[in-house]
Chains A and B, each alone.
Chain A
Amino acid sequence: MNCRSEVLEVTVEARQVEEAMLALLHTVLLHRSTGKFHYKKEGTYSIGTVGTLDIDCDFIDFTFVRVSSEELDRMIRKAVNEFKDALSNSGSDGMGQISLEFYQKKKSRWPFSDECIPWEVWSIKVNVVNLANEQERQICLEKVGEKLGEKVINVVEVINRHEYLPKMPTQSEVDNVFDTSLKDVQPYLYKISYQITDTLGTSVSTTMRRLIKDTLAL
């Protein structure tokens, strides 16, 4: 089975990194979370209800919807903050990538550990720019909002192709497909990783910087 891979690219200011990542990761997780499963006898199960919540961004002219689960939000924020710190420590013109991977566990015999087989990976490439003045920042605020809107539309388009999804598991297998550790919602098993690319040549980053500045120039 092939793993589906989707890449999204955004260009933001340093202070917008956190909210942009949260917006996109939560949009994906909204679609990849269900209510809690409650297994009953006779092999049936019922599904809990997923609530939603609007979040207004402070540094971007954008509002996104996330699942109403503080636990899930905490975990995503923790990962995003680590990524944000790593990006800022790498240097002012940071480029990096954060990945959200959905996987299934496959039990292996002893002494081998369980295999994690990814079935969908979302990679968000981030280019951080520094802007010179308030006017440019104001334009960036709106432009990034529009770009994020386009990315949300892209995400929705991919998800609504209704391609491979793991089968609904039996009670004994549910932990191989879903993350059942949260008390109010049940996302598919996922992991978040990131990498900071500082191996790019100066020429690329200078070109990017110039392109952004040209776009923002009045």
Chain B
Amino acid sequence: MDGDLSLQDKKDLDKFIKFFALKTVQVIVQARLGEKIFTRSSSSPTGSDWFNLAIKDIPEVTHEAKKALAGQLPGIGRSMCVEISLKTSEGDSMELETWCLEMNEKCDKDIKVSYTVYNRLSVLLKSLLAITRVTPAYKLSRKQGHDYVILYRIYFGEVQLTGLGEGFQSVRVGVVGTPVGTVTLSCAYRTNLAFMSSRQFQRSAPITGIIVDHFVDPPFNSQRPPTMGHPCNYRAPDDEEGGPFPGVQDSQEVCTTSFSTSPPSQVSEPPPTGQSADSSGSWTCHSHCEFCTERHRDERRRSLTPADPLEFLNTFTRKVGAFVNKPNAQMTTGCLDVPFSALIPRVLESDDVDPLVHPPDSPPCPSPLQASLHSESSEGSGQQEDFVMVDFRPAFSKDDLLPMDLGTFYREFQNPPQLASLSLNISSQSMAEDLDSLPEKLRIYEKNIDEFDAFVDMLQ
């Protein structure tokens, strides 16, 4: 079989498949970062844009992909898989989807490697870009950060779909025939997301190895197990550091950018008369590699870091009951585990009047709101022992995947400051004033009775 393929074609084909696999992984992981992706079109080729598509290379992702491939290429029985999973702040995890790049035995001997296969792989990558925004995990990944993160894991070998639950669906992104087999790209995704609301996640096993992530300190107390995966968030390294993976840059190969104008005819068409039948394109190599450009890196830093790392950490390190009295009523920078927390100004005034912190002995309770606050404090006042995080599901919230927005809103605004008009002293004073001014007001209204009647008539 390989004997029919010229040496140059075989070399090119291997290179195409290798870089197709790497770019596939980049597209999938970047689509799960939680932000919108933007790359610029460029009319002049740069030499590093494989398949004529501007797809950035996140060095860590390339490194992981190369590590998984370990010098091999996707082949028959050896598939490259990218598994996307979700992990909550409590450590529960759930597989959401598995993208598979497979090769089967169906060969297309007549297809031209350097031209048709390359272009079809480019179209397949575009299809992957489109399909990654359509599967259910995309919407989940756009909302990640507060209560859960999205992780990815790359593995090579046999496809494992058991973690996707019952009734998972499959979508085929596309196929490209080559002389050594047919490349197939597909995605199997979980449909049973109701799993999450019943909290029947698999508990993560105690970890042995460490997956170092260079970007954000692990928000959870436990470290991730080797089978868990990497977070789909990324902060570009500073220029001076040179990135955590300098080796990756050195080994990056440049892509071919030149084509022949008299390319081989399409597979189904006979060669046209009057034109020279060139059987292979001509290639030129450039010696220049390029990763993220400066401006893209800056954009990335702004857009890809979690909105506020402090807040992000804070939401995960707090582990207290829903109604316990805790000094910081607002979910901002009040956590004592934060370094330099002493330098952060605290909102002490609200603490002093916060009824949860200092519940009065005999609450006057002029309003139902205050009454409910006090009753909450009686449940959890004083002790700060071991509390289990109660799953706070506000009433009437939509039975969605995670009713977090309403819950977060409710938690944040649970302890508003007291209304001035509700305090006894002020209200009693104003009542006396009102009573005094009442006769005067009545006199004025009786004088203007005609105006009021005319107004009422106008409304009818």
List residues of A whose CB falls within 8 A of some B CB: 27, 30-31, 34-36, 38-40, 42-56, 61, 63-65, 67-69, 149, 152-153, 155-157, 159-160, 162, 164-165, 167-171, 183-185
Contact A56 B45 (CB under 8 A): no
Known contacts A34-B52, A54-B36, A168-B261; 16 additional CB pairs below 8 A are: A31-B123, A44-B261, A44-B284, A45-B258, A46-B257, A48-B45, A49-B49, A51-B40, A51-B54, A53-B38, A153-B171, A160-B124, A164-B266, A169-B261, A184-B41, A184-B43
Say which one of B75-83, B127-135, B148-156 lies at the interface with A: B127-135
Q: Does B216 contact A (CB under 8 A)?
A: no
Q: How far is the CA of A44 from the CA of B138 in the complex (A)?
A: 40
| Distance of B328 from chain A, by nearest CB (Å) | 33
| Distance of A24 from chain B, by nearest CB (Å) | 11
Q: Does B15 contact A (CB under 8 A)?
A: no
Residues of A within 8 A of B40 (CB): 51, 68
Residues of B within 8 A of A65 (CB): 129-130, 133
Q: Does B370 contact A (CB under 8 A)?
A: no
List 20 A-B residue pairs with CB atoms under 8 Å apart, sorted by A's residue number: A30-B130, A36-B43, A44-B261, A46-B45, A46-B259, A48-B42, A54-B37, A64-B130, A65-B129, A65-B133, A68-B38, A68-B40, A152-B130, A152-B131, A157-B174, A160-B124, A165-B266, A168-B263, A170-B261, A184-B41
Contact A43 B262 (CB under 8 A): yes
Q: Contacts A64-B130, A156-B174 given: A48-B41 contact, CB under 8 Å?
A: yes
Residues of A within 8 A of B46 (CB): 49
Partner of B259, one of A69, A152, A168, A185: A168
Contact B133 A185 (CB under 8 A): no
| Distance of A68 from chain B, by nearest CB (Å) | 5
Residues of A within 8 A of B265 (CB): 167
Q: How far is the CA of A65 from the CA of B138 in the complex (A)?
A: 13
Contact B44 A38 (CB under 8 A): yes
Q: Does B13 contact A (CB under 8 A)?
A: no
Q: How far is the CA of A164 from the CA of B257 in the complex (A)?
A: 24
Contact A51 B38 (CB under 8 A): yes
Residues of A within 8 A of B38 (CB): 51-54, 68
Contact A153 B42 (CB under 8 A): no
Report the nearest B residue to A184, measured CB to CB: B41
Q: Which residues between 16 and 74 of chain B lie within 8 Å of chain A, taking CB atoms?
A: 36-46, 49, 52-54
Residues of B within 8 A of A45 (CB): 258-261
| Distance of B67 from chain A, by nearest CB (Å) | 27
Q: Contacts A48-B43, A64-B130, A184-B41 given: A43-B36 contact, CB under 8 Å?
A: no
Q: How far is the CA of A40 from the CA of B123 in the complex (A)?
A: 24
Report the nearest B residue to A72, measured CB to CB: B41
Report the nearest B residue to A64, measured CB to CB: B133
Which range holds the interface residue count of chain B?
Answer: 35 or more
| Distance of B279 from chain A, by nearest CB (Å) | 14
| Distance of A84 from chain B, by nearest CB (Å) | 23
Report the nearest B residue to A163, measured CB to CB: B268
What 1/0 flags go to B266-285 for Cβ under 8 Å of A?
A: 10110010000000011010
Q: How far is the CA of A31 from the CA of B284 in the complex (A)?
A: 25
Q: Does B120 contact A (CB under 8 A)?
A: yes
| Distance of A102 from chain B, by nearest CB (Å) | 14
Contact B45 A157 (CB under 8 A): no
Contact B39 A44 (CB under 8 A): no
Contact B261 A156 (CB under 8 A): no
Contact B133 A49 (CB under 8 A): no
Contact B261 A157 (CB under 8 A): no
Contact A156 B127 (CB under 8 A): yes
Q: Does B346 contact A (CB under 8 A)?
A: no
Contact B42 A51 (CB under 8 A): yes
Q: Contacts A36-B43, A46-B257, A159-B123 given: A152-B54 contact, CB under 8 Å?
A: no
Q: Does B173 contact A (CB under 8 A)?
A: yes
Q: Does B406 contact A (CB under 8 A)?
A: no
Contact B36 A56 (CB under 8 A): yes
| Distance of B173 from chain A, by nearest CB (Å) | 7
Q: Contacts A56-B36, A69-B41, A185-B41 given: A49-B266 contact, CB under 8 Å?
A: no
Report the nearest A residue to B142, measured CB to CB: A63
